[in-house]
Structure 1
Amino acid sequence: MIHLPVTFHVVPMETSHAEDICQWSYEPPYNIYGWMPWQQMEELGIEFGDARLRSEQYVSVLNDEGDLCGFAQLFPMEGVVRLGIGMRPELCGHGMGQHFVRAIVQAAVLRYPEREVDLEVLTWNQRAIRTYQKSGFTITDTYERMTPTGSKPFYCMVYEK
C-alpha cells in the first residue's frame, strides 16, 4: 500500500501501462470505469489501444518508485482540455486523490497553457466530486449524456487557476 506523502509524476503512457490498466477491476458501482481486454482494445484501435491516440492524449501517473498509480486522457477541444482520470482501484478512497488530480492538472496546464481545464463526472460519483472540488474544480453545468447503459446525468467541472 502507498502511504502519504506521495509524489505523483505524469509521464507518457507506455504500452505496458495500457495493458496493466485493462486488467484493473473496480468494485460496483465504480465497475463502469473498467476497460475491455487489452488485446481487444488494440485490435479495435480505440482509446489508448490506438498507438497514435495513446501518444498524443494519454499519460500515466507514477509514484516515486515508478509504480503505475493511474492514468489520464488530456483531450484537446476548442479552448479547453478535457480530462479523463483513472486511479488504480486499490488506491481509491485512501486520501491520495487530491495529490493525484493536481499532478494531472499541472501536466494539462503545462501542455495546454492557454486552455481552460475541465472534466465530466457522473453526478452520483460523490467520492470523485469531493476530490475534484478539493483540487480546485467547480461544478459549472449539469446535463444528460449517453453512456453504454443509457442516458445519465453528468456535471461539467472547471478548474479554477
Structure 2
Amino acid sequence: MPLRITTMTESFADQIMEWNYEPPYDFYNSEPDEEFRKELLECSYYAILDEEGQLFGFCCTGSSAQIPIAIPLGAYDEDLLDFGLGMKPESTGQGRGKEFLSFVLSSIAEIHNRQSFRLTVAKFNERAIRLYTQLGFSEVTSFDYGGTTFITMIKMPVSGL
C-alpha cells in the first residue's frame, strides 16, 4: 500500500475530527471543536494518504506531539524529534501498523533531517506499544495525566561498528 505525506487541509482536519475508535481506543476520539481544528491546521500536522489519495492517517511533530504536563517532569529533556500519529479507525487492527509507522518515521526523518525519535503513548495501548517495540523503540519514562498513565518511548539510530 503506497502511502504519501502531504499538507494538512481543512477537509482532512474535518475528517480526523469525525473519527470514532472502538473502546478502549475511544480515548483517542476528539469532539469536533475549533481549537483542535486550529491545531491541526496551524501546527506541525501532516496528512497521510493511501494509494487512492484518501486520508489514511496523520502525524505531527515537535511540541504538538508532547503532553505539556510532562515537560517540567523532564520527559522531553533529551533532544529528540517528538512525533505523534493516528490511523483512520477503519484501518486499525488489520496488520497495517508496521507499514504506516515505518512510512511516518522515514517521512519525518527526511522532513526534519533527524534520526532519533520520541513518542508518547497511553500505557493501556498495548497494541501500539508492541508495534513500537518491534520497530526499535524502548520505554524511557512514565507519568500520569488525567487518570491515564503515559509512557515515552525513544528510538535511536543504530550505530555502526
TM-score range, shorter chain: 0.7 to 0.9
TM value normalised by structure 2: 0.80
Unpaired runs of 5+ residues, structure 1, are 1-5
How large is the RMSD of aligned CA atoms in angstroms? 2.0
Show the 5 A alignment for 1:133-148: 133-144=133-144, 146=145
Deviation of 1:95 (Å)? 0.3
Asked if structure 1 preserves the Cα contact closer than 8 Å seen for 2:17 and 2:37, the reply is no
Tell me, in whole angstroms, the C-alpha distance in 1 between the residues paired with 2:37 and 2:151. 28
Asked if structure 1 preserves the Cα contact closer than 8 Å seen for 2:13 and 2:37, the reply is no
TM value normalised by structure 1: 0.80
Number of aligned residue pairs: 144
Deviation of 1:111 (Å)? 2.1
Of residues 151, 156, 159, the one that matches 2:152 is 156
Unpaired runs of 5+ residues, structure 2, are 64-75
Tell me, in whole angstroms, the C-alpha distance in 2 between the residues paired with 1:119 and 1:46. 22
Report the counterpart of residue 94 of structure 2 in structure 1. Answer: 94
Residues 152 and 8 from structure 1, CA distance in 2 versus in 1: closer, same or farther, beyond 3 angstroms? same
Tell me, in whole angstroms, the C-alpha distance in 1 between the residues paired with 2:114 and 2:122. 27
Report the counterpart of residue 6 of structure 2 in structure 1. Answer: 11
Report the counterpart of residue 3 of structure 1 in structure 2. Answer: none
Whichever structure has more strand as a proportion of its residues is: 1
Asked if structure 2 preserves the Cα contact closer than 8 Å seen for 1:138 and 1:160, the reply is no
Show the 5 A alignment for 1:29-108: 29-37=24-32, 40-41=33-34, 46-48=38-40, 51-53=41-43, 57-76=44-63, 79-108=79-108
What code does the residue aligned with 2:154 have?
Answer: V
Residues 46 and 126 from structure 1, CA distance in 2 versus in 1: closer, same or farther, beyond 3 angstroms? same
